[in-house]
A and B are shown apart, each in its own frame.
Chain A
Amino acid sequence: MNIGDRRRIIGPVNARALYFENSKPKESIHHTRKKNNEIRPFFIQTGLLTNPNGSAYLEIDNTLILVSIFGPRPIKGPFMNKACFQVETKFLPYVNQPNYLSKAYLFNTNNNATEEDVNIRRNLDITGGSYSSYSNIEQKISSYIHSAFLPSIILEKYPKSTIDVFIIVLSANVEDNVLSLISGISNCCSLALVDSGIELNDIISTGISRILKDNTVILDPTTIHNKDITDDGKYVDAVISFMNCKNDQIVGFLTDGNLNIDNSLIEALINNSNRMAKQIRANIDVYLIDQISSN
Chain B
Amino acid sequence: MTIQIPGYVVPGQALCPTYEAFESRTVRKFISGPGTKYDSISIGNNERSPIIASTILGKVRLQPLADNVDDPSANDENKYDKNNAGASKTQNVDFQIKKYLISVLPKNNVFNRIPRVINEVLSEKLNLFSSNLPHEGDIVLVKISKISIRQAFCEILVVERGNQFQQTVLKDSGIASNGYGEISPGGGSGALTSILATASSASVSSSSLNLGENFKGVIRSQDVRDMDKDKVQINDCFMPGDIVRALVLSLGDGSNYYLSTTRNDLGVVLARASDGSNNLLYPIDWQTMIDPITGLTEKRKCAKPF
A residues in contact (CB < 8 Å) with B: 50-53, 68, 70, 72-81, 84, 86, 88, 90, 93, 133, 154, 157-162, 164, 166, 168, 194-195, 197-203, 243-247, 284-285, 288-289, 291-293, 295
Query: Are A161 and B133 in touch, CB under 8 angstroms?
Result: yes
User: Do A292 and B110 have beta carbons less than 8 Å apart?
Assistant: no
CB nearest to A193 among chain B residues: B11
A293-B55 CB under 8 A given contacts A88-B184, A160-B251: no
A-B contact pairs, 14 of them (CB 8 A): A72-B133, A73-B173, A74-B216, A86-B184, A133-B182, A157-B130, A161-B133, A195-B57, A197-B110, A201-B12, A244-B12, A245-B14, A291-B107, A293-B8
State whether A288 touches B187 (Cβ < 8 A). no
User: Given the known A-B contacts A68-B179, A159-B251, are A73 and B59 also in contact in the complex, defined by CB atoms under 8 Å?
Assistant: no
A161 and B170 CA atoms in complex are apart in Å by 12
If A90-B181, A162-B187 are given as contacts, then 13 extra A-B residue pairs at C-beta distance below 8 Å, sorted by A number, are A50-B171, A70-B170, A70-B179, A73-B177, A76-B187, A77-B254, A84-B186, A197-B107, A198-B56, A201-B55, A243-B12, A288-B10, A293-B7
- With both beta carbons as reference points, the residue of chain A lying nearest to B58 in the complex is identified as A292
Distance between Cα atoms of A53 and B255 in the complex (Å): 22
Contacts of B10 in A (CB 8 A): 194, 203, 284-285, 288-289
* Residues of B contacting A73 in the complex (Cβ-Cβ under 8 angstroms): 170, 173, 177, 187-188, 213
**Which B residues fall within an 8 A CB radius of A?**
7-14, 35, 37, 39, 41-42, 53, 55-59, 106-108, 110, 129-131, 133, 170-173, 177-182, 184-188, 190, 196, 209, 213-216, 251-255
Complex Cα spacing A159 to B110, Å? 18
User: Contacting B129 at CB < 8 Å: which of A157, A195, A200, A201?
Assistant: A157
Q: Across the interface, which residues of B come within 8 angstroms of A77, CB to CB?
A: 186, 254-255
How many CB-defined contacts (below 8 Å) exist between A and B?
A: 150
Asked whether A79 and B57 contact (CB < 8 A) given A197-B106, A202-B12, the answer is no
For B187, the chain A residues whose CB sits under 8 A away are 73-76, 162
Q: For the complex, give the distance between the alpha carbons of A86 and B187 in Å.
A: 11
In the assembled complex, the Cα of A76 lies from the Cα of B213 at a distance in Å of 10
Q: Which of B11, B170, B196, B253 contacts A53 (CB 8 A)?
A: B170
In chain A, what residue has the closest Cβ to B131?
A157
Partner of A75, one of B37, B39, B57, B186: B186
Output the least CB separation between A44 and chain B (Å): 13
Partner of A203, one of B11, B107, B196: B11
Q: How long is the Cα–Cα vector from A203 to B131 in the complex, in angstroms?
A: 18
A8-B69 Cα distance, complex, nearest whole Å: 82
A80 and B251 CA atoms in complex are apart in Å by 10
Chain B neighbourhood of A247, CB < 8 A: 41-42
B251: shortest Cβ distance to chain A, in Å? Answer: 6
A88's contact among B12, B181, B215, by CB below 8 Å, is which? Answer: B181
User: Which B residues touch A295, using CB under 8 A?
Assistant: 107
| A188 CB to nearest chain B CB (Å) | 15
Interchain CB contact (< 8 A) of A51 among B11, B53, B178, B196? B178
CA distance A76 to B178 in the complex (A): 17
Would A51 and B172 count as touching, CB distance under 8 A?
yes
Q: How far is the CA of A164 from the CA of B187 in the complex (A)?
A: 10
Output the least CB separation between A49 and chain B (Å). 9
Chain A min CB distance to B178 (Å):
6
Q: Are A166 and B13 in contact (CB under 8 A)?
A: no
B170 to chain A, nearest CB (A): 6
- In the assembled complex, how far is the CB of residue B107 from the closest CB belonging to chain A, in whole angstroms? 6
Task: Determine the chain A residues whose CB is within 8 A of the CB of B181 once the complex forms.
Answer: 88, 90, 164, 166, 168
- The listed residue with most A CB atoms (<10 A of its CB), out of B110, B185, B186, is B186
The answer to whether B42 touches A166, judged by C-beta atoms less than 8 angstroms apart, is: no
Docked complex Cα distance between A203 and B9 (Å): 12
B254 and A200 form a contact (CB under 8 A): no
Contact (Cβ within 8 A) B107 A90: no
Q: What residues of chain B lie closer than 8 Å to A245, measured between beta carbons?
A: 12-14, 53
Residues of A within 8 A of B56 (CB): 194, 197-200
Q: Are the CB atoms of B186 and A162 closer together than 8 Å?
A: yes
- For A90, the chain B residues whose CB sits under 8 A away are 181-182, 196
CA distance A166 to B183 in the complex (A): 10
